Amino acid sequence: AQSVAQPEDQVNVAEGNPLTVKCTYSVSGNPYLFWYVQYPNRGLQFLLKYITGDNLVKGSYGFEAEFNKSQTSFHLKKPSALVSDSALYFCAVSSEAAGNKLTFGGGTRVLVKP
């Protein structure tokens, strides 16, 4: 079975400050890791993914994530947060064994204050 934990329900950050959203995972075999963002009354928007290779993955809108195999983590980061980054962020995992089935964490609400 695969699982994802997002330990923080909400993250508050001032505009211009660095933003980090935490994610840890559990999976059999090599993980495929994804970050999605959800704005109110909208579907999920893909930000980035880790499949293999470089542990630092760069994605859309200035976001990046670092894969750490020993800590089974895949934290999302942005060097300078914008008010428009305020949204709900989901980490998800799949694997070759799981096929295209994504298992999501519970989500972290990010609030960026001006």
Partner 1 sequence: DAGVTQSPTHLIKTRGQQVTLRCSPKSGHDTVSWYQQALGQGPQFIFQYYEEEERQRGNFPDRFSGHQFPNYSSELNVNALLLGDSALYLCASSLTRFGSGTQYFGPGTRLTVL
Q: Which residues bind partner 1 (CB under 8 A)?
A: 4, 32, 34, 36, 42-46, 49, 51, 90, 92, 94-107
CA atoms within a 13 Å half-sphere pointing along the CA-CB vector of 45: 14
Closest CA to 50 of 28, 76, 78: 76
Nearer to partner 1, 4 or 81 (CB): 4
Nearer to partner 1, 81 or 93 (CB): 93
CB 21, min distance to partner 1, A: 13
Give residue for tokens 């300078």: 80
If one counts every other C-beta atom within 10 angstroms of the C-beta of residue 24, the result is 18
CB 112, min distance to partner 1, A: 21
Q: Is the dihedral of CA 39, 44, 48, 49 positive or negative?
A: positive
CB 16, min distance to partner 1, A: 29
CB 94, min distance to partner 1, A: 4
Task: List phi, psi (to 5°) of 102.
Answer: -95, 135
Alpha carbon distance 4, 26 (integer Å): 6
Nearer to partner 1, 52 or 70 (CB): 52
